Chains A and B, each alone.
Chain A
Amino acid sequence: MYLTGPNGAGKTTLLRSVCGLHQVQSGLVSLNGQPISEQLSQVLYIGHKPGVNEWLNAEQNIAHWLTLTNQQADIQTLVSKVGLTGLGHVPVRYLSAGQKRRVALVRLWVSKAKLWVLDEPYTSIDQKGIEVLNALFDRHKKAGNHVLVTSHQALPTDMVDINFNLEYRF
């Protein structure tokens, strides 16, 4: 699902509500008939804030996220998959904005969550990186899973099943 809308329309709020980070005033967010709060392991959220500590290096950040989500993977391989080969030991604060974003996006290679909720995933990512991300989304979708994306960048039409447009209301 591709979520669009002008600035301030509530895209981020909606995405955060879907994950349970934002308390909705009424209604219930459910996934496969179960409240989402009971299935947090089925949701991967990458928001505006990358969840990456700038004082740690990429490998340490990835390792902590893997432990937090109870997953195992070869960190070196992951680092090279996101194009950060040789930069794994460099503290994240010395990396460029795009490289920092890549450290966060590593999660897409590992996550077994059925629903990916991604807020502006293409921010600071170069064209080649965007193509890789699109390929990942496509693979995830074909595996019977779901991707909920918001972006100001137009997505290829064949990738989008539902385009949900939010209106700005004052």
Chain B
Amino acid sequence: MSYFSFFRQFLQRDFQIAVNQKHELGLPLVFFALILILFPLSVGPEPGTLSKIAPAVGWVAVILSFLLALPRMFSEDFENGWLEQVFLSGYPNVLSVFARIVSFWCLYGIPLVIVTWLLVPFFQFPLDLWWVLAKTLICGSLLLASLGSIASALLLSSRKGSSVLSLLVLPFLIPALIFAAACIDAASQSLPYNAPFMMLSGITIITLTLAPFATAQALKLNLS
């Protein structure tokens, strides 16, 4: 089987499982939607304030919602023994990890980015700025999935790893958060935002390239 078929089979399996676990899939989305609905109620109906804080709320809510799902990235396959079978298959472990990052991003990251559209009606956030925010979040969620894969794999054997996971992931997200804020700030003043966006994309691509190697090694440590 070619590496591409192997990759595709992994994605297919993850999507099949996700279809049967709709409750797990929906939890981060519901959490995210609740934050977006409750924020305007608690801050008040001041349109200027709401639209000003909207990008920050969007980013923080996406991070927190994603953190809810991250501990599950490898735990199920670890507990049911599928990871052992994958490691014994002889295919590069990096490839299976890469497939998991991509499937996780498609299943959790992309839907969260789509749901940020709720910022437009609830926070009176301009639609053109939402598009900029969505682009930064597409990169950011992929970065979060890549970084999260390392943390999730490291804490696989730890039953109480969920709280530590956020401590491992969040410090590495700060640069991305800064560049994303710079993008939206520039866009809100009708200035070009290519430079910070390229930096954000660069960080994401580098992390996505390197993370599978670190994650595969962390998984191997946990299996032995």
Contact (A55, B17) CB under 8 Å given A21-B87, A67-B9: yes
**Cβ B1 vs Cβ A49 within 8 A:** no
How far is it, in angstroms, between the C-alpha of A16 and the C-alpha of B76 when the chains are bound?
20
Interface string of A21-62 (1 = CB under 8 A from B): 111000000000000000011010101111111111000100
A53 CA to B72 CA, complexed, in Å: 14
Count of residues in A whose CB is under 8 Å from the partner chain: 28
- The answer to whether B80 and A53 have CB atoms under 8 Å apart is yes
**New A-B pairs, 18, CB < 8 Å, besides A45-B85, A49-B80, A49-B81:** A47-B84, A48-B81, A49-B79, A50-B80, A50-B81, A51-B82, A51-B84, A52-B81, A52-B82, A53-B82, A55-B20, A56-B17, A56-B20, A67-B1, A68-B9, A68-B86, A68-B89, A91-B20
Q: With A49-B80, A54-B80 in contact, is A68–B21 under 8 Å at CB?
A: no
Q: For the complex, give the distance between the alpha carbons of A142 and B97 in Å.
A: 39
**A51 to B89, Cβ gap below 8 A?**
no
CA A50 to CA B9, docked complex, whole Å: 19
A51→B224 contact, CB < 8 A: no
Given contacts A49-B79, A52-B81, contact A60 B16 (CB under 8 A): yes
Please tell me if the beta carbons of B76 and A53 are within 8 angstroms of each other in the complex: yes
Residues of A within 8 A of B (CB): 16, 19-23, 40-41, 43, 45, 47-56, 60, 64-65, 67-70, 91
Instruction: Give the size of the chain B interface in residues (CB under 8 angstroms).
Output: 25
Q: How far is the CB of B185 from chain A (nearest CB, A)?
A: 43
C-alpha spacing A67/B96, complex, angstroms:
13
A138–chain B nearest beta-carbon distance, Å:
24
The CA-CA distance from A16 to B220 in the complex, in Å, is: 12
User: Smallest distance from the beta carbon of B3 to chain A beta carbons, Å?
Assistant: 12
Say yes or no for B223: interface residue by CB 8 A criterion: yes
Across the interface, A19 reaches (CB within 8 A) one of B5, B20, B79, B88, namely B88
What's the minimum C-beta distance from B160 to chain A, rounded to whole angstroms? 21
- The smallest beta-carbon distance between A8 and chain B, in angstroms, is 18
Q: Does B13 touch A at the CB level, under 8 Å?
A: yes
